[in-house]
Every structure is written in C-alpha cells, then in structure tokens.
Amino acid sequence: MSFSARWRRRWAPLQERWLRRRLPAASSVTLDHRKLFVLPTGVGLGFLLVIFLLWLLGTNYENNLVFALAFLLVGLFVVLPVHTFANLSGLRLRLMEAQTAFAGDYAQARIALERTGKRLHERVRIAWPPEEGVTVDLDDTSERIREITIALPVVCRGRVPAPRIRVESRFPLGLFKCWSWVDLDVTFLVYPQPKSAGPLPIGAAAGEGDQQQVSTAGGDDFAGLKNYQPGDSLRHVAWKQFAGGRDLYTKEYASGSDVRLWLDWDLLGGRDVETRLSNLCAWVLDAERAQIAYGLRLPGQTIAPGLGSAHRQQVLTQLALFPVLGMAGATQ
Amino acid sequence: MSAAHSQLQSLLPRESLLWIFAAQLVVLLPQFTHLPLWLVGAWCLAVYWRLEVFYGRREMPGRLVKLLAVTLAVAGLALTYRRWFALEPMVALLAVSFTLKNIELASRRDALLSLMLAYFLAATLFIFEQTIPYALYGIFSVVIITAALAAQQGRRSARPGRAFGLSAKLLAQAVPVMLLLFVVIPRLGPLWAVPQNAGGASTGISDSMSPGDFTRLSKSGKPALRITFDGPVPPPEQRYWRGLVYTHFDGRRWSEPGAGDGVVHWGRGRSGFHGGGGEDAQPLPAVGPRYRYQVIQEPSHSPWLFAMARPESDTRGVRKSGDDTLFYRSPLASRFAYEVRSWPRDSLPVDVGLGSRALQRHLQLPERGNARARRWGAELRARGLGAEQISAEVLKRFNSSFVYTLRPPPLGQDSVDEFLFSTQQGFCEHFASSYVFTMRAAGVPARVVAGYQGGEWVAREKYLLVRQYDAHAWAEIWLPERGWVRVDPTAAVAPQRIRDGLQSAAADEFMQDALLPLHKIAFLSRLQLQWDMINYRWYQTVVSFDQERQQGMLQRLLGEISPTRLALFIGAPVIAGLLLLWGWLKLSSRGPKLPVPGRLYLRFCRRMARVGLVRQPGETPGEFARRVEREFPRLGPMAERITSAYEKAAYGDDPRAERQLRRLLRGFWPLRIAR
C-alpha cells in the first residue's frame, strides 16, 4: 500500500468525525463560512511561484515596476479567496428525492440548489467524488432554484447511506478552490443486482397454493372486463370500450393452466443468499415484463401474487432489505 | 489516439484558446521590436496551426514535428544571439517556449501554464523600459492575462466584457495591497549578477565625434538629463555637463583614446584606466564642494555619465576616469540616477603637471593634412605668445567672421582647413575641433570635451531639464599654472547659445527638419514640459524608489522607524481588512431582512433568552407569551401586550401597533423586572 493510501486510511475517520460535528446531516443545508473551506489549487501554487520569480527579477534588476507587478499579483492572491468563498456562500442544497436503484448501477439523487441571497453562484460542481458530478451556473438573477441530479454507483443492496456530497467551485480564476462536504442525509434504497436464473418458474410452485382464482393476466382466453386500476398494463386496457365513451376497463384473460407464479426462495436452493436474492430480482423484472402476476416467498414472509409498479416496488423492497447474517440492511 | 485527441480538444473550448492567444499577443507585441523576426513568424504559425487543429482541419503535430520545431527554435536562437547570458536571448527563449507550447496546447493545464508564463513575460518588458506609457501598457497586459485566466473557467466567464470586467474588478481590489507592499517590502539589492540589457542603439553622445554628429543630435528634443540641486544652482554659463573627452584626432574624427589608435591610456575596461583607483584614494579637499546635485540620466546604452568639472560620486557602480569624467560600470539600459559633488577649481591642488605620456597624448595630430591650420598654429607659437594669448588669437578669428549655423556646408578631406579658411560656417563641433587642432599645432595641450550645455529650468518641480539638442562640444586647454581650463569656442561666435540655449541661438534653423514644427506652438511646448514634469515625478517616486527613499518615506509616514511602528503600519491595514471581511461575513450569512415588526419581536425574544427563556422552534408568539406568563408571572402582562402589538403590526399592517411595539420594547428589560 502506498504511503498516501495508508495516510488517507488513517486520516479519513478523523476527518469524518470532525466533519460530522461541523457539518451534521440535514436534508437542507445552507453553505456559510462555518461550512466552507478555501485553499489554493495547484495552479494557485504555480501563481505563487510566478510571484516569487517576479520578486527575484525585480530584486536582481532593482526594477520597481517589476516589484509593483509582483505585489499586484500578491494583492490578487489575497483578494481571490474572498471571491471564491463568496461564490459558494449562501447556496442552499435540499434533497428532493433519493431514487431507488439496482446494485451495480447508479443511484440518482435529485437535489435542489437555491440562492438564499442576492449573490450568484457560478461554476459550482456537485458530485460524489470520484464521479464527475454536475457543474451548475446559478448566474441568472431571475432564477432562484435549480434542480439537478447527481449519481452515485452503488454496489450493495439494502438501505445505502450516501457519502458526503462535495460541493466545489474554483471561480473566478481557478487559483483557489472553495469546497464543502455536505451530508444531505441521502439514503438510497438499493435493490439486489438482477442476475438471471433461467426462465420464470411458472407452475413450479403450483402445488403449494390451492386457491382457485383468476390470475390477473397471462392467459390467452378472454375472461371479462374489470375496472381499470393504476398499475394495470396498458396493453390490456379495453380501448374499444373506452373509445365508445365508457370508463376504462382492463381486459382479463385466463389460461387453462394454473399461472399463479410464486417466486420462491426455496426454488433456488444451494446458492448463497445474495445470489438467490439477485435471481429473485431478475425473475421479478421478467415477470413484470411478461405481465404475469407473481408472488414472493421468502423465509418468514410471503407477498401475495400481484402485478404493477406498487407491487413490484413492494417485492423488490423486501428483497433489498432481506437481512444479512441477522443484520437488517447492508451498507457498502 | 484520435479519440483521446478529440477529448483533449474538448477540454479547451474556442473561447479559451482565443483568450490565450490574445494574452500572448498583448504580451509579445511590445517585445516584437527586440525579438528576431523569425520568432514572430513562428508564433503566428503556431497560433494558426492550433486554430486549424481546433477547427478539425489538421491534427495536433506529432512527436517528430515537435522535435523538429524545438530543434529549429534552438538553432534559430543560437544563430540570432551569440551571447546567451544576456537579457534579450532570455526573453526570446521565453517567447520561444510560448510558441512551442501553443502547438501542444491541449489540456486546461497547458493553458494555465501558458498564462503563468505570460505574467512573467509581461514583467520582462519593464526591464527594457520603465516609462509611464510602458507601465500603463503593463497594467493593460496584466488585465488581459487575468481575463484570459478567468475565461478558462467557462463559457459565461469567457465572454469578453464579462472576463475583462471581472479581471479589472479583481485587480482594482488588489491595488491597496500592492501599494502597501510597495512601500513596506524591503529592497534587498541584486542577489546575483544578471545580464543587463545590452541591446538598443546608443542615443545621444557617442564615443567619437565626426562632422555632423552634433547636428544630428540638435534635431532631437528628447530629454537627456534631469538634474536637481541640493543647494545653489549654477548660472547658465556654468552649466557644462561633461561626459566624454576626445583626445585622438585622425584628420576627420575625434575619438577617445583607445577607440581609434589602440593607445590605451585608460579604457572602458575595469582595470585599464590610469588614475582610477589611485585618484579615488586621494583625499578630498578640505573645502566643501561647490555644487551638490543628482542627475537622472535617460537610458543612453553607453556608460558615460554627465557631471560638471571635478566631480566625485558615491553612487554604487559609478567610477571616475583619468580625464575627470564619470562613467558607469556598464552601459545604461534604463534610467539611472547618481549623486555628484563638484569642487571648484581652486580647491584642488594643481596637478604636478602632465606626464610625458599625457603631454604626447594631448598634442597628438594626424601625420598629414590640414597644412594651413598647422602653419597657422606654428606661426602663433613662433610669435612667442603664451597659451592663453594663443587661445585668444584663435577665438578672435572665430569672432570676426564666422557664422554659427545648424546647417553648415559639407566639409572635405582637410576639414579643419576648409572650415577655418573657406566655409567659416559651422556648429559647435566644428569650432571645438578646429580650435583644439590649432592649439595643438601651436604646442598647447588641448582636448575636445563632449557633453551637454545649458538646460531648461523647470521652476515648478525645481529641476534642470537637459535635452538632446543641448548636446555640445567644447575644448579644454592645459595651463601649467592652472591645470585644465575650459574654453568654449562657440561662445566666441554665438554667446547666446551658451546663455539662452540652442533654440534662441539658431531660431530659424532650430528643429527645422522636424516633421512638425511643434516647438513653435507655445501651447504644445508647454504641454511637452508638463509631460516631462509628470515623467520626472514618476521617476522620482516610482522608478527610483530604492532602499534609501523607502526609509525616507517610512520616516516621514511614521515619524521614526521602530519595529513597533513598522508592525503597526503593516498590521493596521491587515487588521482593518480582516475586520472588514469579518463584518461582511456576518452580514452575508444573515438571512434575508425581516420586516420591522419581526425584527422588533426578535429583539423581545433575545431579551427573554437572556433571562433563560428561549423561544422554541415552532412555538407561536401566543404560546410563547403564555409560557412567559407561567415561568415569570411578573413579566406576563408585558409579554402579553408586546405579543398582541406584534401580531397586530405584523399581520394587521397597523403602523400604530408598530409604534406601540417599539414603545413597549423600550421599557421592557426582563433582567431588571424579573428579579
């Protein structure tokens, strides 16, 4: 391990503890002098070197104009951090929504940026490093609020608390950077990474349930109309009736065979927990795509068959929050 | 490679590129005069290539092309400059690195590096010139470079007006710091020897004099010297600023020894001149100097300094020659100021006489030519006259029939003869030359002295302004009992030249060849004088602000220079600045301004907090008032009235309620009442 990595490992917890005290988590944070840090950038150090060289030039040539120029640049170096700071100060960040995601994908958070004072904010970069993030210019006096979306790669399922967001700006000359580590209390609900486990186990668990009910979709035989409910597939909406002035109906189909689909933990014996969850997740997506009503059986909990986004979300949430070694949820 | 290339390209948008090129152009433009032409061409080519790359019409140059470019540039520099340790090659080297950087200007990093280089190159301009126009230009280029730096931040920042305004604003804010540092930061003096600016044709008086040289100078109204006196100011007829002594004559050209005939009596080298170390060691006379003055000399690109006779100077780098003149250790590339004291003639012990070598030197004549003048000299000598009488004879002849003119007829091979016996029209150089020739022919040691004579007294700023057209040549003869004595043959012909200057002596001819006869318009010449005064001030306050002046200025500002006062002087602005910053932070971190009733109510809450009752977030004023009632029954009624007044003022928009709230608060001091 390189020295810097070792150093970082020792330093990071200390830094985090200090930041927690100084910048506690909150869903809305207004940047001010207690939360912002300013330091010269690499270019800023280069600028200092130029000043030093100019001073040498002025000294050796006893040239006052060169001195004056060097001192002017010193003055610039003195006033710049104030401007860089002012550019970020007064910016408010508010978490709008932490969207769900699948592990191995990017989780996205919608954040509102708001000007609290008269000041404009230019070239503000908001990111979860090392991601590139988004660079925003709030430089229009008529625009108070701007919504942005930033993404974080998530690896593990569960409730994943996002790390601190870095808000940074090098405005106006790039010689100084002003930054903050903002904790907007972002927690992503991350579903397991879908991993295909073969075709849907249609009928595989049929023996276990003996309810005789019409499954809401899947067959070829038209069984009748029912009132449309949000979540019903649009493919099955009875458009002809709707065009005729009646309400929205969903056509119900029934197939002769039993199409109640149980996505069962026990079907995937012999695999480890995470793989099973990933496979179940893939099945859920497949079933949604095929519009086959599905239920979920996990050790200790059962979700009755259903279809639609609310159902899907319920099922996936169960998968996401399935305990690992007795612990609820997993962080990265 | 092409994918990576296009990605790099996207890092530098068009605005960034254009701004960088603009900054480079601004920095290089004034240097174009002393940069070789091929370098200018190379820069243009590099810029063109880079723009072509931007428009996708060409690839970034490959390794081979870059290597070739570097080789060519180094070869070009080596061919152009034979000396490397000099200022111009170094500036050229910087310009070359600029140019070469352009063809690989890919990332933001390269762009910023290029701009840092531009700052440095902008400063090197001041090594060449320190005048006001150049200083203004320097400010302009710094504004442009800073704008280019701002433009690297993004498209909005790159808009010309925006970038320029931002840069000007930032730099304006930097000025107070600059002023403070300029006054306070100590000047250490050179840390190591640096190459001086060797380039530039020497202006003014040169190391030799042939017919026509001074006529040429008479056409220039440029300032040559500015002299301030500490004590008495010499009268006009005493204002002879000696610079060079010519002792060798080759029949046409007067030169200083060593320049023409290889007879080295004293040279410009550090060791070659006799009398240097020896005479400096000679104790100064007990009598005080007659004149004390400071000369500010314009860059002449030659080492000669100008002073009255018998000068001494303590200024660093100033040396004294055996011919009683001062010179600097290197050619003057920029304005230079030196202090001089000049002693009256009789205060110095008369020299033991001229050594045989010096005698020979001051009687030297070319082997042939100017037979009539030689004969005349011999004739004067044969009459048994003394040196002073011979001189008087020659001057009498000048006085009788000679004409002082700026446009003398051209002279041929025997210039002295032709002038003395046929044309009889000439300028100071003709008079001095033929006078010295005749005196030598008559056996009197004599020499030509070149320098300036006269000068315009600028009463407002109290300095003497000597211009190029004040350049003058006169003579000195050796009298055994008095030493070297000044004789000005021109004075015999045109005394007003000495008294009132060239302009009145040759009014019709003066500056006639000038493109515009500006000197004839009184308003314009007054303006010119004004400009010179500004220049003089500029030089006095800024350019020559050295350690000594710095101490003087601090002394004046602080009374005395003690560590505490100095610390106070530096610390006070720093603390003031910090306080300002702190106040601004306080103000800016406060939220938007509340309406008046709200602010008054907050005041009520603060006072309640002081007795330990803090209003909870989300607690309505009514609830809070009831809590006050419970905790401090004595404050209850008052709190009740304040709250209801506040509610009326805030929500009922009732100005009377607001006044009432104000009045109630005036009498509400819970700390006193609660106890």
Can you tell me the distance from the alpha carbon of B370 to that of A220, in angstroms, rounded to the nearest whole number? Answer: 134
Between chains, do A75 and B192 touch, taking CB under 8 Å as contact? no
Residue B376 lies in a domain: yes
Closest to A36 measured CA to CA, from B150, B169, B585: B585
Between chains, do B178 and A53 touch, taking CB under 8 Å as contact? no
Domain, as residue range, for B7: 2-184
Q: What share of chain B is helix, strand, coil (3-state, %, to 5)?
A: 55, 10, 35
The residue with tokens 């030359």 is B433
Model pTM score:
0.70
Residues B141 and B257 occupy one common structural domain: no
Structural domain tally of chain B? 3
pLDDT at residue B346, rounded to an integer: 63
Q: Which residues of chain A make contact with B175, given a CB cutoff of 8 A?
A: 72, 75
Q: For chain B, say whether A298 makes contact (Cβ under 8 Å).
A: no
Closest to B332 measured CA to CA, from B533, B137, B191, B128: B128
Residues B174 and B249 occupy one common structural domain: no
Residues B300 and B395 occupy one common structural domain: yes
Residues B330 and B479 occupy one common structural domain: yes
Going by their DSSP bridges, the two strands B456-458 and A121-127 should be labelled as unpaired
At B504, is the pLDDT very low, low, confident or very high (cuts 50, 70, 90)? low
Q: Which residues of chain A make contact with B591, given a CB cutoff of 8 A?
A: 116
Indicate left, alpha or beta for B542 from its phi (over 0: left) and psi (-120 to 50: alpha).
alpha
Q: Which distant-in-sequence residues (6+ apart) come within 8 Å of B364 by Cβ?
A: B247, B248, B249, B440
Out of B470, B485, B501, a domain closes at B501
- Across A32-41, average pLDDT: 90
Between chains, do B130 and A64 touch, taking CB under 8 Å as contact? yes
Among B114, B119, B328, B539, pick the best mutation site for testing chain A contact (most A Cβ within 10 A). Answer: B119
Residue B330 is encoded by which pair of tokens? 């290197």
Closest to B256 measured CA to CA, from B486, B487, B473: B473
Residue B546 lies in a domain: no
Q: Is pLDDT of A241 > 80? A: no
Residue B194 lies in a domain: no
Residues B335 and B387 occupy one common structural domain: yes
Of residues B642 and A252, more confidently modeled = B642
Can you tell me the distance from the alpha carbon of A228 to that of A236, in angstroms, rounded to the nearest whole number? Answer: 10
Residues B19 and B107 occupy one common structural domain: yes
Out of B169, B184, B199, a domain closes at B184
Q: Is pLDDT of B506 > 80? A: no
- In this predicted model, what pLDDT tens digit does every residue of B534-574 receive, in sequence order? 888 888 788 878 777 888 888 888 887 788 888 888 888 88
Q: Is pLDDT of A14 > 90? A: no
DSSP state of A327: B
Between chains, do B174 and A79 touch, taking CB under 8 Å as contact? yes
Q: Which residue of B has its CA nearest to A140?
A: B156
Of the candidate ranges B297-311, B343-357, B472-486, the one whose mean pLDDT is the lowest: B343-357
- Respond yes or no: is residue B44 known to be catalytic: no
pLDDT at residue B399, rounded to an integer: 85
Can you tell me the distance from the alpha carbon of B302 to that of B227, in angstroms, rounded to the nearest whole number? Answer: 19
Residue B669 lies in a domain: yes
Preceding omega of B299 cis (within 30 degrees of 0): no
Residues B362 and B303 occupy one common structural domain: yes
pLDDT at residue B293, rounded to an integer: 92
Out of B501, B519, B546, a domain closes at B501
Residues B224 and B164 occupy one common structural domain: no
Residue B333 lies in a domain: yes
Can you tell me the distance from the alpha carbon of B305 to that of B450, in angstroms, rounded to the nearest whole number? Answer: 11
Residues B180 and B212 occupy one common structural domain: no
Between the alpha carbon of residue B227 and those of residues A156, B291, B339, the distances in Å are 84, 12, 10
Q: What percent of chain B has pLDDT over 70?
A: 86
Q: For chain B, say whether A304 makes contact (Cβ under 8 Å).
A: no
Bridge partner residues of B249 (DSSP): B254
- The per-residue DSSP string of B484-496 comes to EEEE-HHHHH-HH
Which of B213, B417, B470, B488 is an active site residue? Answer: B488
| Spatial contact of B158 and B15, defined as CB atoms under 8 Å apart | yes
Residues B177 and B218 occupy one common structural domain: no
Residues B484 and B350 occupy one common structural domain: yes
Between the alpha carbon of residue B547 and those of residues B124, B189, B192, B336, the distances in Å are 22, 8, 18, 15
Residue B536 lies in a domain: no
Residue B558 lies in a domain: no
Between the alpha carbon of residue A55 and those of residues A64, A68, A128, B355, the distances in Å are 10, 9, 40, 50
Residue B378 lies in a domain: yes
Instruction: For chain B, give the longest Cα–Cα distance.
Output: 133
Q: Which distant-in-sequence residues (6+ apart) come within 8 Å of B525 by Cβ?
A: B518, B519
Gyration radius of chain B over CA positions: 38
Bridge partner residues of B471 (DSSP): B452
Residues B178 and B219 occupy one common structural domain: no
H, E, C per residue of B322-350: CCCCEEECCCCCCCEEEEEEECCHHHCCC
Can you tell me the distance from the alpha carbon of B64 to that of B574, in angstroms, rounded to the nearest whole number? Answer: 53
